[in-house]
Structure 1
Amino acid sequence: MRDEQDDGRGAALAELRGRLAASVAVARLNRTQLAARAGLGRTTVSEALSPNGPVPSAETVAALAGVLKLPPGELLALHRTASAPHVVGDEGTVTADGPGRAIEGYSPHDLEVHPAGPGRIASGCGGVGGAQELPGYVSRGHDRVLAGAVSDAAAGRSGIVVLVGTSSTGKTRACWEAVQPLADRGWRLWHPFDPTRAQAALEDLHRVTPRTVVWLNEAQHYLGDRAFGERIASAVHQLLVSPERGPVLVLGTLWPEYAHRYTVLPAPGSDDLHSRVRELLSGRTLPVPDAFDSQALAAAAALAENGDLLLADALTRARDDGRVTQDLAGAPELLNRYHNPRTPAAKALLEAAMDARRLGVGPHLPPAFLTDAAIDYLGQTDYDQLTDDWAETAYAELAEPVHGKQAPLRRTTPRPSRRSPAPAIAPQAESRLRLADYLEQHGRTARRHLCPPASFWHAAHTHLTHPDDLNNLAQAAESRHRLQWAHHLRHRAADLGNTAALYRQAEHRDAAGDQEGAEALLREAADLGNISALYRLAVMRERAGDRDGAAVLARRA
């Protein structure tokens, strides 16, 4: 039976190619000309005519028949015979060559699973070895549904699941983890992407053999293609409903905006651009949440406690909002954007922001402060090449998001304070900038021994207005022996009502013998609620012989 099938397929393919080649000779067309007239790639045409090439797709045959003025029905009949899969052996083992390869032949990064954390970069492009480390996997609710689809496929029932979620929520990783049981059963996986995703899918979906996972990651590139999307949806549907071609499992991922676009009904009277796609996706999408719930966070914490350093690191930043996968996915690219910026000015701004955060400035940084602070982070050559719009260009570069919708330095508006009984503080009129958490944490380690340049301190004194920020920087300047800047920053903080700065100024006055000036500063600090100032006043009054005054101050403290 097998020999008869092979002979029939081979004969049909040979006749198909022979008729095409003869007509090409009569038409006196070279393959480049033929490809241009048929609207196909030259490689596609060459493979269609080559004795050693794969069976061409039905669309390729039809396009060539039209150009060469051959009867398409006859050629397509030969094509169906040549491309018909045959099955022999246990569990429907397929002996015909289909697209794809064994699942274990892929690494997760081959299939577009985002690298996680700042680990080493792959040295090669595919296969086992050299791939960047992945964190332990935390199973969530959608994983149970995926596991059911995989079990159905293993039992012989074809199916499709399309995971819908925002960027870097773990959709592709979930698919990768789900198919591992099929790897143990000898399944293959096909990821169509060359020459384009849509073209590869359309040309070879008819060649998919049983026990194949069809991997449609970022399915908008397939189903949303203007030229081929509807035809791809039809071909996938035909694959799923043809018992002789199964079992197969189709896995895809989509962002919510694409899923909505493809599934919403068109307005009355307008063209229905996605009717076949809508039918294919109906009841087959699976939502993936943006954040880990409490159960998933607990599971991640358990893995971290057992030595998973990537998860442990991510949880230091993402435990509160649960966006663990976004943090893991964004970290490598954030670090790359810092080390390899398009412009030196962008790196200077990031380093100024890193220094500000590690030395105690609040998370919302004024753009004017960073712009002035960044100047001395540039070498003389880079500084000489600055254009008038360098800051605007650099900020635009740093606002471009990476995986997980994170940006190295993004604009933000601080929320108003609502602490009772203090009155609410209105939001700043000027938007502020916020450094990505991962880069902030990286800066605290990588730059911990570095002292900011003079432009940093000057910009802080000129532009920062929060008394706590100024006092924190005064302390940082003093510990780094930038004593004049420490003095000026502390004065600014004291003038704005920072009690710690007032207390420190009082200590300096007292040490210089100006007891009256020291007491005035301490009383100002005490009136603002500084208990240490009351205690020091009591000590100074007792030292001056005013025991009653000291007792009053002590009781007040």
Structure 2
Amino acid sequence: METDEVRDPAALAELRARLEAGRIASRLNQTALARKAGLGRTTVSRALSQSAPGPSADTVGALGRVLHLDVPALLGLLDAACGRGPAAVADAGRPGQAIQLWDPHDLEVHPAAEAPAAGSSPGAARDRNPGARGGALPAYVRRPHDELLVELVASAEDGNNAMAVLVGSSSTGKTRACWEAVQPLAAAGWRLWHPFEPTRADAALTSMRRVAPRTVVWLNDAQHYFGGENGERIAAAVHGLLTDASRSPVLIVGTLWPEVADTYMTPPRSGEPDPHSQVRGLLAGRLIALPDSFDGTAIKEAEAFAAAGDRQLAHALKHSDNGRLTQFLAGAPELLRRYSTASPPVRAMLEVAMDARRLGAGVHLPARFIEQAAEDYLSDEEYDDLADNWPDQAFTDVTRPVQGRLAPLRRVRPRTAQNTPAEEAAPVPSYRLADYLEQHGRRRRARLCPPESFWQAAHDHLSPEELTSLAEAARSRHRFQWAEQLAQQASGSGNANVLVRIAEIRRTEGALNEADRLIQRAADTGNTTALISLAIARENAGRREEAEQLAQRAAEGGDSKGLGQLAEMRESHRDPKGAEELALRAVSLGNTSPLIRLAEARELAGAHQSAERLCQLAANAGDATGLVRVAAIRETLGARKGAQKLYQLAARVGNASALVRLAVQREMAGDRTGAEQLAWQAANAGQSFALVRIAEMREAAGAQEAAEKLARQAIEAGHRFALVRIATIRQVAGDHKGAERLYRQAAESGNPSATARLTEMAEAAGEPEAAERLALHAAKSGNPSALARLADQREAAGDPRSAEKLALLAAEAGDTSALARMAEMRELTRDTEGAERLARQAAAAGNPSALMRLADIREAAGDSNGAEKLARLAADAGDIHALARVALMRAMAGDTRQAEQLARLAADAGNPSALAQLAERKAAAARNDSRPMLHGPDSDASAVPVAR
């Protein structure tokens, strides 16, 4: 029996989208789903069909239970579709559940190593956390980053939207810190939503707009949300949530590894595409760094917990060094020992998993893939020595826990609903690589290309989405045949996202017709990315009506970006009316950014009234940022009165940025009372910098007492660097005593930047011991740059021994810059032995580019042999660009064969441009142009293959 008359098609579409996503995630076709749910094949087909009447409640319940979906939420959507019970529907549609219902291990908090029992039962340690299925968690030791999270949570409790992403290496305590931070919200009745199924990105895109007030959005391993093809859309959705006052308050927390954060936050070079612009804007000012180790204060607190009976912390304190307690608790040392001493088949399995993860495979790796891929990781002798049942033996060994529940590979038991019909009789297990080993593999195996068995196993056993990523990895490593085969295997699935990705690969390879066909196939399924791509192509071809229809379809599918892109194209083609119509259609779907971009373009073109009108329309839709951005343009062009008018309009609707601007203007006009009032309004709206800005202006005007007062108020409002900024102004003005007093106050509150400034002042005052003590304190607080700068000063002052000692301490704390700079200085003073020693130390600490910089200096000085030696050392240390440089050096020496071999190795190591660079240099020399000769007279430039 089917539903009553459908009154809300959007709710019915959402219901079907969830059911279909669950079916795909469970890898069931409709026949298998019908059999599992005890329903007829036709019933299931009509339930999922967009053209059929809605399914009955019994059908929805049966399908939801089989697919492990939230059945009450599905029934709520069904009620909404039929116009029944809107209040119940609203609650059912809220993503997430009460915080206290979550187990921390389900949110990916690492299980902690269990300490050997000392006169107590093995289960005694678990009594502290009876609800934690992953075993006991040790007592939590707070560190400086936790104080920042406390402030963030307090702001959320006060009704503000807030976000922070913790950045740190594997097993440094990022996820546990987030979990501890949100506990105060549990008592206040907050929910927590972890976007996870069917994939993290799909869940975020589908449900971010349904997040309700008093929800924590949990983005652990945020690269899964921001790093894929939908990363920019997800970043825009998160930004929309943060700026939507109707859904306040919400708290968004996430985690990232440092190298991933660097990728997002590094702007592209001029002229290059910017794949992370929205992500970079979202994360700016919201990243919190975690140190790799505990400082002295944290160690003392851990010791106190250990003395009070926490056996896990006591065990970690006894067996770890350098304050790396979290890594020990996560089993890192033992995991590395197990890997380094593993038998050949176990080592091969671990390296298969490392390579799969770094090249784009999913977290859960099928056992059949690991077993098949491992063969070519073994030498002939090792392979011949294998027992007949070697896979069983190896899996038993590699999954044996090192401590507690921690293992190099952990078996992931498949749920029965996720098996294909062929697998129901004997489900195939999957395995997950330990995070610490995954990061170790990314670092140590970055320049290695997997062997043939890896690509074949991937072709045979991995999913279409994984194959797409691996096809790109194969292509970048010049494994063109495998790139083609993997791409064909992926596209054969018909998955729309895969079709789009394969189309992109084909387009870069010049297969434009095939790319267009794949995009059309994807668009026919309703894929919004493909629809937008086709819309732009139709617009460029002058087929405007078709373009609009395609962009509208994408917008109805949840992506209004295409409407904005068409609007900008119409504006550039001098069709302002058409541009506005498209932008307003985007606004009706909740996306005001196209309207704001049009306003900015018109303001720059001098159409001030039109720009202002568009900004007002955006403000009426709840987004006043356009008013502020256009006002800033006017202010830059000198139209201060017009700018002030727009700032005032934006301020009236509560825009914090506009309040900051107006506060500055009031201060400049001498209205200090008005300036402070506006600055406090901005601070209360989340812009504590407004108080700092006014404080700086008071300091510059000589009103020091007033400046200090405002700076302290800014700290209370959440801007922890306020006193440091005022102190810096005093220091520049020559008031060193006043500056030192403020730096000390800031340092006492835990600000590492203030400690670094005090270090510089102590060194300048001739107090080297005090300077070192302060620099070490700053490093322990998460700022090793103070040690690096002090090392530079000692080197410049002619104290190389002290400089080296400090540089090594800085490198241990995570800043290798001083070692690299000292190596260059020694090289320039012809202390080549000292230069190499320092560069090697920098490379060992994770900075192989120090060796390449020495190579550059030697090459410029005419020492080609010395330069090549250093470049080879850099390549051995993991610099993927060094091999390419060595290849060019060999070519310059006339050794074409060796140059080509090295260029191929560089391509295999992840630098696909190496072969192209060599070919370009050879071709240039063959043309007898002005560039230097890089090969012998008998070499053949055409013999070097170039990447397609």
Give the TM-score of the pair, scaled to structure 1: 0.48
Higher-Rg member (1/2) = 1
More helix per residue: 2
Give the TM-score of the pair, scaled to structure 2: 0.29
